[in-house]
Amino acid sequence: QSNNSWVVLFMKANKVPDFTLSYIFVFTELLLKVRSINLMKSKSGENRTEHHTNRYHGDDFVIRRGQNFQLWITLSRPFNPNTDKLHLELKTGPLPTVSKETHVIIPLVEALEGNRWEAAVVAQDDKRLNLSVNSSPSAVIGRYQLTVETNCANGPASFTADPANDIYMLFNPWCEGDTVFMDSEDVRQEYVLNDVGRIYYGTENQIGARTWNYGQFDNGILAACLYILEKSGTLPSGWGDSVNVVRIISAMVNSPDDQGVLEGNWSGDYSGGTSPTAWSGSVEILKAYHKNKGSPVKYGQCWVFAGVVTTVLRCLGIPCRPVTNFNSAHDTDVSLTTDVYLDENLEPIDHLNADSIWNFHVWNDCWMARPDLPPGNGGWQAVDATPQETSQGSYRCGPASLAAVRNGQVYLKYDCPFVFAEVNSDKIYWQKNANGTFTQIYSEKKTVGHYISTKAVGSDERNDITDLYKYPEGTEEERIAVETACRYGSKASAFSSSKAEDVSVEVTMDGQGPTMGNDAELTITLRNSSSEKRTVTLNSQAVVMYYTGVPKATVRKHTVEVDVATFFNVMFFAMFLDTETALDWSLEVRETQQVQATQFSFRLRTPDLIIKPIGKAVVGEKTAIEISFTNPLPQVLKAVTFNMEGLGLLTARKIKYGRASVSLTEYFIPTLPGPRKLLASLDCKQLTQVHGVTDITVEEKSNAAL
């Protein structure tokens, strides 16, 4: 109406004849224009509830592809389906193109068919239209600008895009037509919607667990995840392909070649950043990366990379879980074996030993169909963001089909050889000859890939998923898989079958193992399965090392010659001040020239942080908790920092503290009701992997007052 008034004033001022004025007035009134759009974005409304996006923070319109949604359009006059035309347009990326599916034209149809972009009028109230819209299950994910185009006998009109009407499109595990579809609601709740989880670490004999806040629905996290995709420099036209998106995220969560989210650091010196063991969740990391316009956050190690990948993929709608592999091999030369080179005296040749076995390594499984691979390779896929080896020129790994890895089909993409070696490579020992060549002296076929673990669905229990990655050790199927894989390795001719050995070694420790600050007591048992006595020279050394299997320092060496009739026990003592440790040993049998060498890894247990809520927790009211901790070391801890966070409880907070034993009280104001977890960790140079968690049930303010 106001526009028409201005036209009238203008025409009168310029002495335009009345019949012309009347024509213009009628023309503008009959033009079909969009006055407003209501996307019904309320968290409690049908759209976001049905799309399982009602937990995303804020009022953005977040929906999942391949699923229907509703909207209302208010027009300048009632819509006449006989003479008026209307369609929706969505645009994403810097150069929206119809052929690339980044410019989507959504036609108005009489009846919806599904599995395609389409819209239909389901109700009309005077000038208001209620549209029901379907999206394609293969739609590009990301942020779309929405416009509405109209046309009638008097000409076209366009409703300019308004950022308030932008649509955020995600993958949809609830849609059968989506490649990430999962058919169980329990697993969708766990691998898409659960925003708190467990990540395992330690050694195969001492498995530890820590709680991790994924926080995929937290304020600003969806924007940060989409920023990561944009920062990758990849074309949005490829963001509808779940395989491609996972590959992008795998590369972008590390930073060596693309200024990605996290900078890895295994040096032990974390000055200028945060120690990897101090993080308790992904939210602070992702927000810092986004806020600082793509400057990598310092620092991460494997579990931090995996925690962030879990957050990003769940946020984008791809089912994901962190996975821990104990005794995880790092194959550097695509031999599909873990090679150890020894000199004439059975001492390691350090400059040749590039392969290593990590006490544990954490990566991710994500769930999707694999239309790019032969049938049977869909389902769980391994993806690893820790920068170890390059894949097609970038530090990334996967997605590698677990079915392919299990069967040794390492020729299938992506990066199956590397993942296979991590979980099922043979460890082969080579001894240097006088002429400079090497001879294979021993192989271990059951050393790599133990207790592959992830959090169980619906509980905090550990779920062993080793059988998804490999057949049971020593079975015919497992050996066939190894032989199949090694035929494609760089040392195919070196692979040989086992030979008989009559002296074996077992290393054991009591209970859950030694604690930080106390002696480590290990028992080395030699067993002779022959009917004759064996004279054995046993060399052993205690080594402090990084969890990646890289030695840091030798603590103690010991050599003994023993006669073994049936069995013989050797006790080994050492004092350690580092959590990650190992006992390396080698033996030589005088009578048979049998040679054997291997490693036993263990972890010195650190004390937990004890977190106790004081009183009840109520939304919007000050709540207290007490944190207590006792220093197990003989020296005073210096530059101690406590890190606290909890989804719906408090944002990440750092507390500086300087005493050896501590009992402190902290306060926070909960923002969300229901069951919550408060996480805390301790960070200092002398101690790592010190953390704690407590469950807090937050009451609604109104309920608490009753």
The mean pLDDT of 325-337, rounded to a whole number, is: 91
Of 188-197, 331-340, 378-387, 494-503, give the lowest mean pLDDT range. Answer: 494-503
Q: Is 495 a residue whose pLDDT tops 80? A: no
CB neighbours (10 Å) of residue 241? 18
> Contact at 8 Å (CB) between 484 and 492?
no
Reading the block at residue 394, the tokens are 């970038």
Query: Residues 128-147: pLDDT tens digits?
Result: 999 999 999 999 999 999 99
Reading the block at residue 317, the tokens are 């709608």
Q: Is 419 a residue whose pLDDT tops 50? A: yes
List the beta bridge partners of residue 73.
Answer: 37, 129
Give 31-99 as a DSSP string.
Answer: S--EEEEE----TTSHHHHHTT-TTSSSS-EEEETTS-EEEEEEESS---TTT-EEEEEEE-SSS--GG
Dihedral of alpha carbons 531, 536, 542, 547, sign: negative
CB neighbours (10 Å) of residue 601? 25
Q: Is 47 a residue whose pLDDT tops 90? A: yes
Reading the block at residue 402, the tokens are 């677990």
pLDDT band, residue 69 (cuts 50/70/90): very high
Query: What pLDDT, on the 0 to 100 scale, is given for residue 3?
Result: 44
> β-strand 567-575 against 610-614: which pairing, if any?
unpaired
The mean pLDDT of 175-201, rounded to a whole number, is: 96
Q: Which residues of 19-50 are buried (b: 16+ CB within 10 A; e: fewer)?
A: eeeeeeeeeeeebbbbeebebebeeeeebbeb
pLDDT band, residue 45 (cuts 50/70/90): very high
> Contact at 8 Å (CB) between 39 and 19?
no
pLDDT band, residue 676 (cuts 50/70/90): very high
Reading the block at residue 694, the tokens are 């407590």
Of 1-10, 347-356, 393-402, give the lowest mean pLDDT range. Answer: 1-10
> β-strand 567-575 against 580-589: which pairing, if any?
unpaired
CB neighbours (10 Å) of residue 99? 7
Q: Is 397 a residue whose pLDDT tops 80? A: yes
The mean pLDDT of 430-436, rounded to a whole number, is: 92
Of 17-26, 375-384, 627-636, give the lowest mean pLDDT range. Answer: 17-26
Q: Is 652 a residue whose pLDDT tops 90? A: no
Query: Residues 236-253: pLDDT tens digits?
Result: 999 999 999 999 999 999
CB neighbours (10 Å) of residue 8? 14
The CA distance from 608 to 632, in Å, is 11
**Residues whose CB is less than 8 angstroms from the CB of residue 687 and which lie 6 or more positions away in sequence, other chains included:** 516, 606, 631, 633, 637
- Residues with catalytic roles: 302, 361, 384
Q: At what angle do helices 302-316 and 283-291 cross, to 10 degrees?
A: 80
The CA distance from 100 to 123, in Å, is 32
Phi then psi for 593, rounded to 5 degrees?
60, 20
> Contact at 8 Å (CB) between 158 and 165?
no
> β-strand 85-91 against 142-152: which pairing, if any?
antiparallel
Query: What pLDDT, on the 0 to 100 scale, is given for residue 15?
Result: 60
Query: What pLDDT, on the 0 to 100 scale, is given for residue 14?
Result: 57
> Tokens 């503290």 belong to which residue?
657
Using CB atoms within 10 Å of the CB of residue 94, give its burial: 0 to 12 exposed, 13 to 18 middle, 19+ buried.
Answer: exposed
The CA distance from 508 to 527, in Å, is 14
Q: Is 11 a residue whose pLDDT tops 70? A: no
Mean pLDDT of the chain: 87
Q: Please state, in angstroms and as integers, the Cα–Cα distance from residue 280 to each residue in 323, 588, 637, following that order.
A: 17, 46, 21
Of 472, 462, 359, whose CA–CA distance to 424 is shortest? 472
The CA distance from 127 to 73, in Å, is 8
Query: What pLDDT, on the 0 to 100 scale, is given for residue 22?
Result: 45
* pLDDT above 70 as % of the chain: 89
> Contact at 8 Å (CB) between 201 and 324?
yes
| Between 535 and 228, residue with greater pLDDT | 228
CB neighbours (10 Å) of residue 559? 10
Query: What pLDDT, on the 0 to 100 scale, is given for residue 97?
Result: 96
The CA distance from 433 to 476, in Å, is 33
CB neighbours (10 Å) of residue 417? 24
> Contact at 8 Å (CB) between 143 and 33?
no
SS3 315: helix
| Between 237 and 11, residue with greater pLDDT | 237
Interior angle at CA 638, CA 635 and CA 640, nearest 5? 125
The mean pLDDT of 521-545, rounded to a whole number, is: 81
3-state SS of 213-227 is ECCCCCCCHHHHHHH
Query: What pLDDT, on the 0 to 100 scale, is given for residue 8?
Result: 47
The mean pLDDT of 480-496, rounded to a whole number, is: 76
Q: Is 26 a residue whose pLDDT tops 50? A: no
> Contact at 8 Å (CB) between 241 and 399?
no
| Between 276 and 632, residue with greater pLDDT | 276
Of 345-354, 394-403, 489-498, give the lowest mean pLDDT range. Answer: 489-498
Of 66-70, 330-334, 578-582, give the lowest mean pLDDT range. Answer: 578-582
Of 314, 256, 318, 255, whose CA–CA distance to 282 is shortest? 314
633: alpha, beta or left, given left = phi > 0 and alpha = psi -120 to 50?
beta
Query: What pLDDT, on the 0 to 100 scale, is given for residue 628?
Result: 85
Reading the block at residue 438, the tokens are 């090497």
| Between 591 and 578, residue with greater pLDDT | 591
Q: Is 703 a residue whose pLDDT tops 70? A: no
Q: Is 29 a residue whose pLDDT tops 60? A: no
pLDDT band, residue 5 (cuts 50/70/90): very low
**Residues whose CB is less than 8 angstroms from the CB of residue 171 and which lie 6 or more positions away in sequence, other chains included:** 64, 65, 141, 178, 179, 180, 242, 245, 316, 317, 318
Q: At what angle do helices 18-30 and 2-13 cross, to 10 degrees?
A: 160
SS3 360: strand
Read off the pTM: 0.81
The mean pLDDT of 425-445, rounded to a whole number, is: 90
The mean pLDDT of 621-634, rounded to a whole number, is: 85
The CA distance from 337 to 425, in Å, is 5
Q: Is 554 a residue whose pLDDT tops 80? A: no
Asked if residue 426 belongs to a known ligand binding site, the reply is: yes
Q: Please state, in angstroms and as integers, the Cα–Cα distance from residue 310 to each residue in 358, 379, 391, 689, following that order.
A: 21, 16, 20, 20
Q: Is 359 a residue whose pLDDT tops 60? A: yes
The mean pLDDT of 333-354, rounded to a whole number, is: 89
Query: What pLDDT, on the 0 to 100 scale, is given for residue 567?
Result: 67
The mean pLDDT of 540-546, rounded to a whole number, is: 72
The mean pLDDT of 100-127, rounded to a whole number, is: 95
